[in-house]
A and B are shown apart, each in its own frame.
Chain A
Amino acid sequence: MEHVVIIGNGIAGVTAARHIRKLSDKKITIISSEASHFFSRTALMYVYMGHMRWKDIEPYEPHFWKKNRIDLIQDYVTRVHTKEKKLDLEKGQPISYDILILATGSTTRTFDWPGLNFKGVQGLVTKQDLENLEQNAPNKDVCRRAVIVGGGLIGVELAEMLRTRDIEVSFLVREGAFWTGTLPLPEAKMLSEHIASHGVDMQHHTELKEILGDDEGNVRAVVTNKGTEIPCDLVGITTGVTPNIKFLETSDIETDRGILVNEHLETNIPNVYAIGDCAQQRNAIGKRPPVEAVWYTGRIMGKTVAQTLCGNPTTYQPGHWFNSAKFFDIEYQTYGWVFSEKKKSEDEVHFHWKHPNKEICITFAYHRRSREFLGVNTFGIRMRHEVFDRWLQEKRSIDEVIQHLSQANFDPEFYTQYHSLIQKKFMTNATITA
């Protein structure tokens, strides 16, 4: 019986294991040093906020693993011997494999800031990060102020978490508004205002220069690029994530930023695969970046590799881009590509609508000449994935999309609908440009 060993029990590794079990009788072992059981990484914040307990963010009950004959080992892989097909573990005996799946995920990306080693400087990616946060910021007396560095998804989550405990938060954002690397300006501005309305001290155009500590090795303050010193008890580093592949340095598995894989998720070594956040596509797929730290791509890669391993060689095809997030109270969904001003091409045109007095807005991207619909960002309006996916697939024009917008609405029943207002503004704009 073939022994499949999966390193990492995140969404990618666990999805691979589940689907291999569905399709075959192979022996499956998952090794993780982080947690005994699979949990939803995206839900770490809710444990700190008291919405859920740890066990609530574990999608499967403990008996699930035994029933599905998936062995779990909580240990850290120190070294991979690809020739001997063997893994060295930190605590346990070495373990041999026939097929190895690397699904080790990401870790906090830091830059060369002085003072990163002080106690109270941390990211928010792992279970250990959450435990550290409970130590570093249990309440507003122990943690009087936190400084968050990096205006992205994890940063705003951390801000929301800390605010539920009334901890003062200063949010350092390099650009003039939140997440402008990804979002068009009107949206970024609305979000900046919303985050500020939750009592977060938004410091735009501000970067971290140095972290200062006290004699006991605890963080005491940060110094910004403007020379200001902000006293704080916690520094949240949320400037993105990077593949967690340090343990592979001694192996002959080829890496760049991540573990290099082809479209079948195979590494340069036969029978070794890499999936999820730690994988880097040798050839980028569509407009997707070669390393994608997104929940659902991990899931799709897990399914894909399971197919390949069970006799149905399959290429990884994540389909049209989509994603979602929530910024404090504002829900965000995106389908297709809407690029920020910085990244968008000449031919990408945006049509933006914002509710006059609510925090609801929507941005459509379309091609200047062909009028092909390229993507949509929506804030405060839920949209139907299936419909937008089909429209992208059928290369609908922006005019059709706007006209049939109601078909894509996914808001709960009785919600106020805004298509007619959106359509009206679109028509008015069209008249003006014409």
Chain B
Amino acid sequence: MSTFQRDLSLTGQPPKTINLQQKIATVIGIIGLGILALFLMNVSLPHKAIWLTASLLLMTVGVLLFTRAAYANEHAGIKNHGVYFKSLSSRGFWAWALGIVLTLFYVVLYWFPQYLGLVTEGDNKGLIALFDPLSRLISGNPASQWFVYGTLYTLAILIFGIKFIYKYRHNRYEVIRTFSVMFFQLSFAFLIPEFLVALQLPYYDFKNIWPLNYELFAGYKIDEFISAGTIGLLMLIFGVISVFVITPILTYKYGKRWYCSWVCGCGGLAETAGDPFRHLSDKSQFAWKVERWVVHSVVVFVTVMTTAVVFSYLRQNESDSLSEYSPIENHAVFISALEGKPLHERVRNAQEANATAVYFINKEASEAPPRLSNTEGISIPFYVVSEVENSAALKEVRRGEAATFVLDGPEGQKVTVAEGASVSFFDNLWISKEFFIWFVIGLLTLVFGWAMLFRREQLAKDAKYGAIGYFVIVLSILLFTYFSTPWKLFFFDAYQLRKGYGFLIGAMFSGVIGVGFYPIFGSRVWCRFGCPMAAILGFQQRLFSRFRITTNGGQCISCGNCSTYCEMGIDVRAYAQKGENIVRSSCVGCGICSAVCPRGVLKLEDGPRKGRIEGKDVLLGTDIDLMNHVN
């Protein structure tokens, strides 16, 4: 019954097929892709810059011509004719073909970059070599698989963004929103990080906020920030502020759309290149249930993982944790803390790890310098240097320059660290692991307690059970593993946790399934089922925001366009036909439900929290008492 309209329509007729100009445009675009394929197959041609330009240009021209052919002769307005008749947009042959190609691309990108031509030592080959000229132009470095990916990703958002804008040219919300995602992708995600690298600063996409950017607080990233001095520190602080301050404020004011459909790169691709597939999202209640469990589990996972990673970083920063396995071979080691095990043991541990010398930075000039109470078996030198007297030298040594230290003590002896010598600093972070653990526990308790105390009437039963369950489990494991040695929070090595998360969530979920399956499951699978950032923003949106989609009184005719074209699989109609406003944590505020509504029923708005959800019974003829007063 549900497919009679497909069985009966013959091939080769509008709106099922694309017109001749669109076919020509498709061929042009595919030639552009073909150039990439040639290089992928290691056909090495000279003049890479020209070939690259030609390829990108052909793809651009192809998409723009396609857009023109599709919409130029049409009135401005909704363009969904034949969406469910076309193979590509209704899970037909072309949809599967595209899905498989995209999936393969992601598999190669994440796990086999050598097939794209990545060469770690020496010149790149193949596809990656093709992008070398552009990469050198922007940052001065050779391309990597991520540069190739970033370029194609940005190009897709830009050209399909233009297509989207033209498609929705009658709708200013869509036009402005799309310009916004195009801007953020091109500048924040693509150019600025490359420029930062060119300036010898850490690679940083400022709009890529933790936990979407799950590596932001990984040890190597923090090291990068810290070693970049003040600017690096500001970046790190910005990263913390963006998740704890900027995000809640903007989400309170505008809902999570400010991020998910105005700024975010994943959302940007979904809204532009993914637009033809938006209706494929699953609208069933079952899918909604799966969504709630899966996405919130990812939040738990990322929180656990990040906590473990930061904890382990802080722990490793303590000289107390020095051991023969510490990566300090041939390093001059600087320490400055006394709590924990005796100083001589630390020095011995450093020696076992083949450090060259241990410097104790004495921060309290007034106090007597500490001494080793036991020098048995210690053969590397141990120096105590005053921080005040050696501030210049400390800076020099961090920069890798030669530095001369004045030792504490009446003699005023001097020791020089040679230029380019490896150094390791310990005890130089202002937060301790204790502080961090209690901060995490405090924050989780605060959020949990707030939701349970002040929003419990808005939480469904399974939400309450889920929250309580996760909260109790996470906190118990956290406390248990914290108070037991050997300092592995959550039983696993932090590095393993991060690797596991990166593989399962970062690569498999957001890449392979998220984008690879666009033509099968729709464009927002990652955003809906996987993105922990979207889940946190959604939590705020549902419980603490002024945003809602208003239902216009009794005008809804239950046609189902809103639900069908909701990329997040929200059954918008279920609310609209009851006259209720839509306040759902997953809503990314793309505005398409409002656009496709034939009766002007839906409007995205920010307004007072009072009366945000309830319907206007009087307009629906439900409020019997009030109705008696009408007419």
A interface list, Cβ under 8 A from B: 11, 36, 40, 42-43, 46-59, 61, 131, 134-135, 138-142, 164-166, 197-198, 285-286, 295-296, 299-300, 303-304, 307, 312, 314-315, 317-320, 322, 324-326, 328-329, 331, 333, 382-386, 389, 393, 410-416
Contact = CB atoms under 8 A, between A and B. Distances in A.
A198 B75 contact: yes
A389 B619 contact: yes
Contact of A50 (B81, B553, B619, B631): B81
B82 interface: yes
A283 to B, nearest CB: 13
Interface in B579-631: 591, 594-595, 598-600, 603-605, 616, 618-622, 624, 627-628, 630-631
Contact of B616 (A49, A54, A386): A386
Given A299-B620, A322-B555, A416-B172, A52 B603 contact: no
Interface stretch (B227-235, B383-391, B560-568): B560-568
Contact of A414 (B1, B86, B173, B560): B173
Nearest to A413: B173
Interface string B69-82: 00000011110111
B627 A59 contact: no
Given A303-B621, A329-B75, 14 more contacts: A46-B560, A52-B561, A54-B1, A61-B285, A295-B557, A299-B621, A304-B621, A324-B600, A325-B599, A331-B600, A333-B600, A385-B616, A412-B591, A415-B172
Given A165-B15, A382-B600, A50 B618 contact: no
B171 interface: yes
Q: Which 9 A-B pairs have the closest CB atoms?
A: A385-B553, A300-B621, A329-B77, A382-B600, A43-B559, A50-B82, A139-B13, A326-B598, A414-B172
Given A47-B5, A61-B285, A385-B552, A166 B14 contact: yes
A124 B550 CA distance: 31
A326 B599 CA distance: 7
A49 B621 contact: no
Contacts of A134: 4-5, 8-9
B561 A46 contact: yes
B577 interface: yes
A307 to B, nearest CB: 6
A45 to B, nearest CB: 9
B630 A40 contact: no
Contacts of A59: 558, 560, 573-574, 577
B560 A57 contact: yes
B75 A40 contact: no
A264 to B, nearest CB: 12
A198 to B, nearest CB: 7
B284 A333 contact: no
Contact of A49 (B2, B80, B554, B558): B80
B83 interface: yes
A324 B619 CA distance: 14
Contact of B85 (A50, A315, A389, A411): A50
A319 B618 contact: yes
Nearest to B559: A43
Contacts of A164: 14-15, 81-82
A54 B560 CA distance: 10
Interface of B: 1-5, 8-10, 13-16, 75-78, 80-86, 170-173, 176, 284-285, 550, 552-555, 557-561, 563-564, 573-574, 577, 591, 594-595, 598-600, 603-605, 616, 618-622, 624, 627-628, 630-631
Contact of A52 (B77, B84, B170, B616): B84
A303 B623 CA distance: 10
Contacts of B621: 296, 299-300, 303-304, 317-319
A131 B163 CA distance: 34
B132 to A, nearest CB: 42
B10 A138 contact: yes
Given A50-B84, A382-B603, A393 B630 contact: yes
A53 B2 contact: yes
A46 B553 CA distance: 23
Contacts, number: 199
Given A295-B557, A325-B599, A414-B172, A49 B9 contact: no
Contacts of B9: 134, 138-139
Contact of B561 (A36, A51, A296, A389): A51
B560 A319 contact: no
Contacts of B8: 134-135, 138
A76 B440 CA distance: 65
Contact of B555 (A55, A58, A333): A333
Contact of A410 (B16, B577, B603): B603
B285 to A, nearest CB: 7
26 contacts: A11-B558, A48-B5, A50-B84, A50-B85, A51-B564, A53-B2, A138-B13, A164-B81, A165-B13, A165-B14, A300-B554, A303-B620, A312-B624, A317-B630, A325-B599, A326-B598, A328-B75, A329-B75, A329-B76, A385-B554, A393-B630, A412-B591, A412-B604, A413-B172, A414-B176, A415-B173
A338 to B, nearest CB: 16
B627 A317 contact: yes
Contact of B618 (A52, A56, A58, A389): A389
B558 A54 contact: no
A303 B622 contact: yes
A317 B630 CA distance: 8
A53 B3 contact: yes
Nearest to A307: B624
Nearest to A319: B630
A198 B73 CA distance: 10
A320 B2 CA distance: 38
A330 B618 CA distance: 28
Contacts of B285: 61
A11 B77 CA distance: 28
Contacts of B550: 410
Nearest to A382: B600
Contacts of B620: 296, 299-300, 303
A325 B553 CA distance: 15
Nearest to B617: A303
Contact of A384 (B84, B552, B598, B624): B552
A56 B173 contact: no
A326 B77 CA distance: 11
B557 A40 contact: yes
Contacts of A382: 552, 600, 603
Contacts of B577: 59
Contacts of B13: 138-141, 165-166
A40 B573 CA distance: 11
B594 to A, nearest CB: 5
Nearest to B600: A382
B631 A286 contact: yes
Contacts of B559: 40, 42-43, 46, 57
Most B Cβ at <10 Å: residue of A140, A286, A322, A324: A324
Nearest to A54: B2
A325 B605 CA distance: 23
Contact of B2 (A55, A322, A324, A328): A55
Contacts of A57: 559-560
Nearest to B555: A324
A57 B577 CA distance: 13
Contacts of B573: 59
Contacts of B553: 322, 384-386, 389
A43 B560 contact: yes
A42 B558 CA distance: 8
Nearest to A131: B4
Central interface residue in B550, B559, B564, B618, by most chain A CB within 10 Å:
B559
Contacts of B616: 385-386
Nearest to A331: B600
A295 B558 CA distance: 9
A160 to B, nearest CB: 10
Contacts of A42: 557-559
A48 B171 CA distance: 25
Contacts of A139: 9-10, 13
